[in-house]
Amino acid sequence: MDKTAGILFAISSLPSKYGIGCFSKEAYKFVDWLVEAGQTFWQILPLGPTGYGDSPYQSFSTFAGNPYFIDLETLISEGLLTREECDSVDFGTDEQSVDYEKQYNGRYVLLRKACERSGHKNSTEYKAFLDKNEAWVYDYCLYMAVKNHFGGMNWTEWPEAIHSRTEEGLREYKEKLADEIDFQLFMQFQFFNQWYKLRAYANKKGIKIIGDIPIYVSLDSADAWSHPELFQLDEQCTPKAVAGCPPDGFSADGQMWGNPLYDWDYHKKTHYDWWMRRIKGQLNMVDYIRVDHFRGFEQYYAIPYGEETAMHGKWKKGPNEDLFLRMQEVFGKDLPIWAEDLGIITPRVEKLRDDFNLPGMKVLQFAFGDPKDNDILPHRFTTENCICYTGTHDNDTTMGWYQTLKPALQDRVRRYLNTDGNIIHYDMIRAAMGSIARYAIYPIQDLLGFGSDCRMNTPSVAGGNWAFRFRKDHLTPELAANLRKMTELFGRCEPLEPIEEEEGPEGSIKPGETAPGLAPEE
């Protein structure tokens, strides 16, 4: 089967009794539902511990997992928590939204109790986990312990001894915060233990997981603290320049992301070892990796530190093909990487993508601007090696997008899709399915026909993002059956039953016959 389909949504969006989606029975049921619906992929968002604004793209670590995703029901079944303890915590009452403040205040209290009761230090599985992840897990857990000790303070403001990782400073805080470090280690062990079981279940059912990594990491992260040499930082570990993008039609001042930039010369000297460990870690967790901001590998936009806007940044050369040649040496010629190549993409970026046979993205919500020169319209696709999305986690839902279009543009969409617009979300999914793209992916909100109030993220808007959840009753057997019919129709899954030939209407062309007027000349 060359062409496939799948659904995009975050782990946090799953139904759950305890306020946020996690590795619970509902996740396993969703895998079963995907199978019923004829889907091949479940695309998720980054799995790391979230930092500022609860964004999965601003994580405290590129290697660690988010403790919010640890399933409390599993801990109950293991005797580490009681149902009464979990039910007594206020996680909020809105079944379709995550209350992150309540998660922060309630979940860690329960996880600490589970840690105290676990006896994990004597577990062979626990010891094996630590050995396997030695390269990052101790640094990360010490980082989180110190961060919590100082009330969430950024590591750049810590006392000099621990800020600069002197031998004395490391020894002092490891001793002082031993219990907190142990708690952080316990949570990582639980996260990975539960996730690996869920991923194995999905793979056994024929469902592949598409992960997601941002190209950059946060300055407020264990990665930057433990390995400042990886980044363009001065002697005080202050960024020399930060990431962003220049002014465009959407932002007159450009976008200031604020992430530290990589010291690509250092990475090249070390044969991109950190990147190889990063990719390997991700591939231990998922089947494919979507890399956010792929353009940054060819050229990256550097904004001098301290600038208030992104207007005075400069484009600088990235590692280009060197990094991907190294990936091929380590992971093989066929790299399981999807390129997020949205925005203004140059021919050199396209060449980098195509030279390594990486599928790029076609987002249908961007297809209807200029009808004269738009290669995102499905009939203009020039390659099968791409992913056709209705929208992404950063877009409005398709229903919300359509409802806010100007009447003339709505008309263009309706005429192109040959629809009255009443079920535009269905029509857009159908267009993605019917394209030549090898992969068709659609957010769960589009499948369910939800409006703007269910949007996952609005870029550059602080607060109110990443909270969407769907309910158990949203994914019905009828919806699975209908989605499977569409997926089968466009050859993106194997039919459950062979298609039976039916007698056509009078005058119809039968197999082996030639239409009148089209017969070959004698």
Hey, which residues are catalytic here?
292, 340, 394
Structure tokens at 28: 């396993």
What's the helix, strand, coil split of the chain in %, to 5? 45, 10, 45
- Contact between 48 and 211 under an 8 Å Cβ cutoff? The reply is no
Pairing of strands 337-339, 360-363: unpaired
- Beta-bridge partners for 4: 439
- Cα 322 to Cα 220: distance, rounded to the nearest angstrom: 28
Using the 8-state DSSP alphabet, how is residue 409 labeled? H
- Beta-bridge partners for 7: 42, 442
- Cα 132 to Cα 253: distance, rounded to the nearest angstrom: 45
- Cα 59 to Cα 62: distance, rounded to the nearest angstrom: 7
Structure tokens at 17: 């009794």
Dihedral (Cα; 443, 447, 448, 451), 10-degree rounding:
60
- Provide the b/e sequence for 40-70 (b: ≥16 CB within 10 Å): bbbbbbbbbbbbeebbbbbbbbbbbbbbbbb
